[in-house]
Structure 1
Amino acid sequence: MNMNAQAIQAVTEQEIEDVYKIRKLVFVGEQGVSEEEEYDEHEDKSDHVLIYYEGQPVGAARTRVVEDMAKMERVCILASHRKHGLGRVIMNKLEEIAKEKGLKKAKLHAQTHAEPFYEKLGYKRVSDVFYEADIPHVAMVKPL
């Protein structure tokens, strides 16, 4: 576990702003997703998570309830902070939020390059490759 990292549920205006800022840098800036696609009608109904590394916000994600399952979405870490175990910290926080809501299963749409990462966390692929925002994805699920 990375002791310099802390994942929190983003609730204040500043925390939510940081979540959007990180997602914009990663998905819009780095991956070319349109802002219209990145920010959708589910933002207000989602629980947002922010990860800090040495006091700086460096990662974000959200979870929401879809068909009695936690749907993990928009998981991202700034390029400068990848490969330090922060993705695992953020996923643990999302799963903790889901369990607090009494949910027994989590699902996500993983970009295909991230599939091995999610497999290590116990997620299993349950679909063929499909495209979201012109990026190849697979659906994955995990019992909580």
Structure 2
Amino acid sequence: MMIKWFMLLFTGFAGGLAVGCGFVAFLSVLGIIPRLMQLTKTIKWIRLYEWAVILGAVSGGWFSLSPVYLHASHYWFIPIGLLYGIFVGMLAAALTEVLNVFPILAKRIGIDDKIVMLMMAIVLGKICGSLFHWLYFAGL
């Protein structure tokens, strides 16, 4: 029994260490958070960004490991989903900005002068896909 607990502890620690290192590498090497602050002109709130990342990682880990149920009205999911969508969208925008995805893609497919249309197509596709996912699978 003691060996089983030791192996479980070791496996959990190793998995957490691997995910944590990947998360830190994603944030620091690619410079996602600094670029996001630069794009939104919110560099003065750097401490808030730091605490948001720390609390988000800790609470995400805690909620994924514990059986937590939110007994709330379905109307609370509208602002939560909106905030979640804004966060994911801004993080994806910062990631594509850092990696220069749009200019490279536009140059490769030959539409350098229509990069705004490319961005709007991607945004509208993401919106339609998200709405389909949430409305269809939520059963609304």
Structure 2-normalised TM-score?
Answer: 0.33
Structure with max Cα Rg: 2
Larger helix share, 1 or 2 = 2
Structure 1-normalised TM-score?
Answer: 0.32
